[in-house]
């Protein structure tokens, strides 16, 4: 009887310790090679000047985009399929590096609120001109941070300890 309880206890502890780790692994069960290279999209038009920009973060199709010169941020986001549900809409950034040929005198980070892109006042303002992309721009749409995401590891550990404590209590109470 005691061996059965020990085996059950060992199995339960093993399973409880494995579940949180299993959810954090990136496993490909189909045996296919995981894709690590960035996506490259070409929306440029023949015989027209084009630029190359990088789009990362919470967008449906992140990657490197070759686009027609003069395209703005909103057009690029539509090429990419739009933002994901986890995107921080108030903190989209265009990172523009110093480039003497393009007239960019110093590194610049332009922070844009997504909703502003649809505001008539914003469209008519000088700020809208900053959303016209330049060669080498890096656009980042960060993931919105939610308070419950920061406590997820703590709740996982607390639930494990509670389950383990309850199991030990029940085993000791029956002896």
Q: Which residues of 49-75 are buried (b: 16+ CB within 10 A; e: fewer)?
A: ebbebebbbbbeebeebebeeebebeb
Strand bridging mode 92-96 / 108-112 = antiparallel
Q: Render each residue's pLDDT in the chain as its tens digit; 175 residues.
A: 666 776 676 656 665 555 554 444 444 444 444 444 568 999 998 889 999 999 999 999 999 999 999 999 999 999 999 999 889 999 999 999 887 777 777 888 999 999 988 888 888 888 888 899 999 999 999 988 766 667 778 888 888 888 888 888 888 887 6
The alpha carbon torsion through 85, 127, 42, 83 (nearest 10 deg) reads: 0
- pLDDT at residue 120 in the model: 87
Strand bridging mode 108-112 / 50-57 = unpaired
- pLDDT at residue 10 in the model: 62
CA distances from 20 to 5, 13, 28, 119, 138 (A): 24, 12, 18, 44, 35
- For the chain, the structural domain boundaries read 2-29+149-174, 39-144
How many CB atoms within 10 Å of residue 77?
Answer: 20
Sequence-distant (6+) residues with CB within 8 A of 122 are: 116, 128
DSSP, collapsed to helix, strand or coil, labels residue 80 as coil
- pLDDT at residue 38 in the model: 64
Could you tell me the CATH superfamily of domain 39-144? Outer membrane lipoprotein wza domain like (3.10.560.10)
- DSSP assignment string, 159-173: HHHHHHHHHHHHHHH
H helical segments located in the chain: 2-24, 73-79, 120-124, 126-130, 147-150, 152-174
DSSP 113: -
- pLDDT at residue 67 in the model: 95
- pLDDT at residue 78 in the model: 94
């Amino acid at each position: 009887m005691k061996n059965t309880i020990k085996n059950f206890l060992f199995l339960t502890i093993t399973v409880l310790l494995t579940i949180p780790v299993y959810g954090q692994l990136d496993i490909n069960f189909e045996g296919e090679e995981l894709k690590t290279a960035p996506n490259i999209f070409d929306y440029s038009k023949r015989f027209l000047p084009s630029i190359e920009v990088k789009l990362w973060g919470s967008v449906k199709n992140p990657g490197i985009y070759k686009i027609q010169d003069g395209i703005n941020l909103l057009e690029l986001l539509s090429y990419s399929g739009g933002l994901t549900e986890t995107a921080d809409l108030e903190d989209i950034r265009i990172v523009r590096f110093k480039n003497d040929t393009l007239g960019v005198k110093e590194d610049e980070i332009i922070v844009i609120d997504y909703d502003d892109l649809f505001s008539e006042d914003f469209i008519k303002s000088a700020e809208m001109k900053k959303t016209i992309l330049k060669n080498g721009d890096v656009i980042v749409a960060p993931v919105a941070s939610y308070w419950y995401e920061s406590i997820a590891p703590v709740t996982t550990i607390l639930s494990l300890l509670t389950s383990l404590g309850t199991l030990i209590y029940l085993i000791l109470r029956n002896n």
